[in-house]
Amino acid sequence: MTRNTNIMDKNNVSLGAWFEATPEYGKCRELGVSGPTVSTIESDLALYVEEHDISDFGDIPEAELVAAIADNTDTQIRLRTLWEFEGAELDGYVARDDCWSGIDRDQAVDDDGKAMYDRYELSVDVSAPDESVPDWRIYRFTATDIEDFARTW
């Protein structure tokens, strides 16, 4: 369902204008995110604003903004957006040990760009500041996704 993204906050700023002024929007445009996809991201943000009764768009948590972008973009843009967000936690999975481990970003690939794990997850806590229970959004990636991404460094 498409939401009204022409809503205004208490500062008389439209959601679309607010989003266009964020660094995240600039990054989306730099990475080639299409206009229709940007509209979908704005629609997701409008839903968040409505659900949390936000009167100042500056109160939208950065994690929610990052998640809205990640939810609506392709694998490489999603991966770049999450990778660059310091609040995203990275985990790697080793199939032979059937084990997930929290890892640092520099542990994802070796010096040759080969994946060190079989699968990866980047997780973002999108819970509202007044919520006591974390609300994790998990994004999964293959070893190939990570290797492809590593070639862009």
Cα–Cα distance for residue pair 138/128, rounded to 1 Å? 16
pTM metric for this prediction: 0.89
The predicted model gives 26-35 an average pLDDT of 94
Cα–Cα distance for residue pair 57/67, rounded to 1 Å? 16
Q: Which of 43, 41, 40 is nearest to 51 (CA)?
A: 43
Lowest mean pLDDT among 16-20, 24-28, 108-112, 126-130: 126-130
Q: How do beta strands 119-125 and 99-102 pair? A: unpaired
**68-118 pLDDT, tens per residue?**
999 999 999 999 999 999 999 999 999 999 999 999 999 999 999 999 999
